[in-house]
Chains A and B, each alone.
Chain A
Amino acid sequence: MSLGDIVIETKDLKVYFTKGGFLSKKSIVKAVDDVSIKIRRGEILGLVGESGSGKTTLGRTTIGLQAPTEGQVIYYNSKGISHLITPKTITKDIRRKLQMIYQDPYSSIDPYMKVYDALRQPLYYAGIRERAEIEEIIHKAFDDVGLPYELLNNYVFQLSGGQRQRLAIARALMMDPDYLVADEPVTMLDASLKGLIVEDLKKINQSRGLSILFITHELPVAKVIAHRIAIMYLGKIVEIGPTKRIMENPLHPYTQALLQAYPRLEPEARDKFFKVNVRELELVWPKSGCKFHPRCPFVMKRCETEEPPLKEVEPGHYVACWLY
């Protein structure tokens, strides 16, 4: 599969939240800080980071659910016409093309709805009200995720976790989107289901040419599904590049630690696993310099004062670290 034109682009995107200010000291949380990424048609970009790194906020901002503090999100439709995406400027037609699935399939769909109704409602608001047309769309979406039509008459609470997540994916696919934000879609699922849902998403990406921003904190999951991987740390993209290169030649000390810390089924790997030399995350954010410097094993003087920019180290592989 070849990758096409850009579908979603962020330009120097910043999303800040103000915390406190009533009784406590006011502080600004930089959830997304100066992020510029491009996602092409048919591409899966894996966005990897720990909780609180801002990956969900970035995902939400790219589909217009969150207003950027600064910078822009631009969506290019199939004709190549660009649209600025903010909660105020987004139109109904564009919103349909940008969809999202959420982490917890148990709370993202009303459990007391019939499956059919849970799917019919968004179509109704999209102006699709002919029964035959509704059924055609639902059946196609069900085929894509491998759910049997018989489930349509069940209540949502009767579905298992895996079926619910598939239902959430089907619901997002009904609108024939160009771009899908998948926010930790396999995190809540058991090991036995993870692989199956990942395969589903891969198939959908290939058959529909759908672009996906796949948000996860598990690097090995991103490795399996994504064409490119972006590593996010406290609001910044610290490394981005082709999946193969990131896995074979991780450059940022944080990426290296992530790879090293991942438990493997090799008793010989035990010693390596225990030698991760990155310190634990503290709640105090560094005020200046590289965001990672308080935990970095290779910290230098410069890291404490100056923030490193993203630099291209090999074709398409960027890293933000003074080591390079």
Chain B
Amino acid sequence: MPPLLRVEGLKVYFHMPRGVVRAVDEVNIYLNKGEIIGIAGESGSGKSTLALGIMRLIMPPGFIEGGNVYFDDTEVLHLPEKVFNSEYRWKRIAMVFQGSMNGFTPVYKIRDQIKEVLEVHGYTGDPDQRVNELMKMVNLDPSIADRYPHELSGGQKQRAFIAMALALNPQVLIADEPTTALDVITQTHIINLLKQLRKELDISIIFITHDIALMSMIADRMYIMYAGRIVEHADTADIVRKPKHPYTKLLMEAVPDPSKDYIKGIPGFMPDLARLPPGCRFQTRCPFVMDICKREEPRLKRVENSEVACWLYG
């Protein structure tokens, strides 16, 4: 069966006065039906931009400069905006944005805000009943919809926002750092909710986070992103047991883990994406840097069960 969503060679560039920032550069990812994939990387690696690119929500000075996005084998990146908006955005691909729990307008009740989404996208059924259904889906009491956002806790707000994303029965949900502002206990509840939604609604999820440990708890497959490129891709178990790219290894060591006595850092900085050096983008921080890394950029290559872009693997 072909993947539900396929991103090929996606390029999102920002045209800044200091140069062209290549935030997402020739990225390929795919998502199968019913799957949860993870995209991990530190801030500035381009993971949110990738998500916004798929949703076609890039604002100038950013532009989608190349690539294709296939949804069920239909190319959607170059569809007229009107068609994409009426048939895909929110209907088939919905997104929970970073910090979206603060995305509700404080002056309207949750119910009215979800009803507005239903109305704008031409929902034909009874909107009140749909809101109640959605609230139950995310394990909230329907009466909570009649509260104002400030009357909800952080976890409840995040649930309500997920309910809003699910309003039109999307097949794909992109969750961008959905738990970052929540405490760890609430975080597990939100993760459990996403798993439950996948099971009950047969929804596929793209989970974006900087927390590789959290990702390993939910994702079936993982993409590791660095400076606009995917540097490693494999099943979660393979990445966790046998990380290949030096960046993945360092990222895993930097995770605060209650069973470890240390937290390691990754010295150095991500390169300026407007002034990328020739060769590998990780060369400035890599402990294993070689001559070839400074000349030629490595491409993703199959190594055992993983795909990795690193000259260490020939």
Contacting B at CB under 8 A, from A175-202, are 190-199
What CA separation (Å) do A172 and B51 show in the bound complex?
40
Quick check: A263 and B211 within 8 Å, CB to CB? yes
Quick check: B256 and A221 within 8 Å, CB to CB? yes
Contacting B at CB under 8 A, from A218-244, are 218-221, 223-224
What CA separation (Å) do A156 and B258 show in the bound complex?
34
Let me know if B155 is at the binding interface, CB within 8 A: yes
Contacting A at CB under 8 A, from B40-55, are 42-43
Which residues does chain B contribute within 8 Å of A221, judged by CB atoms?
256, 263
Q: Mark A161-177, 1 if CB is under 8 A from B, else 0.
A: 00000000000000000
Which residues does chain B contribute within 8 Å of A247, judged by CB atoms?
258
Let me know if B288 is at the binding interface, CB within 8 A: no
Interface range on chain B: under 10, 10 to 19, 20 to 34, or 35 or more?
A: 35 or more
Quick check: A224 and B213 within 8 Å, CB to CB? no
Quick check: B256 and A276 within 8 Å, CB to CB? no
Quick one: given A191-B251, A199-B265, are A224 and B256 in contact (CB under 8 Å)? yes
Quick check: B254 and A194 within 8 Å, CB to CB? yes
What CA separation (Å) do A190 and B264 show in the bound complex?
12
Quick check: B216 and A263 within 8 Å, CB to CB? yes
Interface range on chain A: under 10, 10 to 19, 20 to 34, or 35 or more?
A: 35 or more
Which residues does chain B contribute within 8 Å of A120, judged by CB atoms?
none
What CA separation (Å) do A269 and B218 show in the bound complex?
11
Quick check: B185 and A220 within 8 Å, CB to CB? no
Quick one: given A224-B261, A261-B184, are A266 and B153 in contact (CB under 8 Å)? no
Q: Which interface residue of B153, B183, B210, B269 has the most chain A CB atoms within 10 A?
A: B183
Quick check: A224 and B263 within 8 Å, CB to CB? yes
Quick check: A194 and B265 within 8 Å, CB to CB? yes
From A217, A223, A283, contact of B258 by CB (8 A): A223
Which residues does chain A contribute within 8 Å of B236, judged by CB atoms?
267
Which residues does chain B contribute within 8 Å of A204, judged by CB atoms?
none
Quick check: B42 and A51 within 8 Å, CB to CB? no
Contacting A at CB under 8 A, from B241-273, are 241, 250-252, 254-267, 269
Quick one: given A190-B42, A190-B43, A224-B263, are A50 and B183 in contact (CB under 8 Å)? yes
Classify the secondary structure of A's interface with B: helix
Let me know if B195 is at the binding interface, CB within 8 A: yes
Let me know if B117 is at the binding interface, CB within 8 A: no
Let me know if A265 is at the binding interface, CB within 8 A: yes
Quick one: given A196-B265, A274-B191, A274-B192, are A262 and B258 in contact (CB under 8 Å)? yes
Q: Mark A242-267, 1 if CB is under 8 A from B, else 0.
A: 00000100000000011101111111
Quick check: A281 and B185 within 8 Å, CB to CB? yes
What CA separation (Å) do A221 and B217 show in the bound complex?
19
Q: Mark B187-214, 1 if CB is under 8 A from A, else 0.
A: 1110110010000000000000011111
Chain A nearest CB, measured from B134 CB (Å) = 18
Quick one: given A196-B267, A281-B186, are A259 and B258 in contact (CB under 8 Å)? yes
What CA separation (Å) do A193 and B236 show in the bound complex?
24
Which residues does chain B contribute within 8 Å of A193, judged by CB atoms?
265-266
Chain B nearest CB, measured from A267 CB (Å) = 5
Which residues does chain A contribute within 8 Å of B258, judged by CB atoms?
219-220, 223, 247, 259, 262, 264
Quick check: A217 and B263 within 8 Å, CB to CB? no
Quick check: A273 and B188 within 8 Å, CB to CB? yes
Closest residue on chain A to residue B252 by CB atoms: A265
Quick check: B210 and A190 within 8 Å, CB to CB? yes
What CA separation (Å) do A219 and B187 show in the bound complex?
14
Let me know if A158 is at the binding interface, CB within 8 A: no
What CA separation (Å) do A267 and B237 show in the bound complex?
6
Quick check: B187 and A261 within 8 Å, CB to CB? yes
Quick one: given A192-B265, A273-B217, are A283 and B152 in contact (CB under 8 Å)? yes
Closest residue on chain A to residue B152 by CB atoms: A283
Chain A nearest CB, measured from B225 CB (Å) = 13
Let me know if A150 is at the binding interface, CB within 8 A: no
Quick check: B211 and A220 within 8 Å, CB to CB? no
What CA separation (Å) do A194 and B262 show in the bound complex?
11
Give 10 nearest A-B pairs by CB, closest first. Answer: A196-B265, A50-B183, A192-B266, A195-B265, A220-B256, A195-B263, A263-B213, A263-B214, A191-B254, A261-B184
Given contacts A50-B186, A192-B254, A195-B263, 9 further A-B contacts (CB under 8 A): A191-B211, A192-B251, A196-B265, A217-B184, A257-B185, A264-B259, A274-B188, A278-B185, A280-B153
What residues of chain A have their CB less than 8 Å away from a CB belonging to chain B?
A: 50-51, 160, 190-199, 217-221, 223-224, 247, 257-259, 261-267, 269-270, 273-274, 276, 278, 280-283
- What are 19 sample pairs from A and B whose C-beta atoms fall under 8 A apart? A50-B183, A51-B181, A160-B269, A191-B210, A199-B265, A217-B184, A218-B256, A220-B256, A220-B258, A224-B261, A224-B262, A224-B263, A261-B184, A261-B185, A263-B184, A273-B217, A280-B186, A281-B153, A283-B156
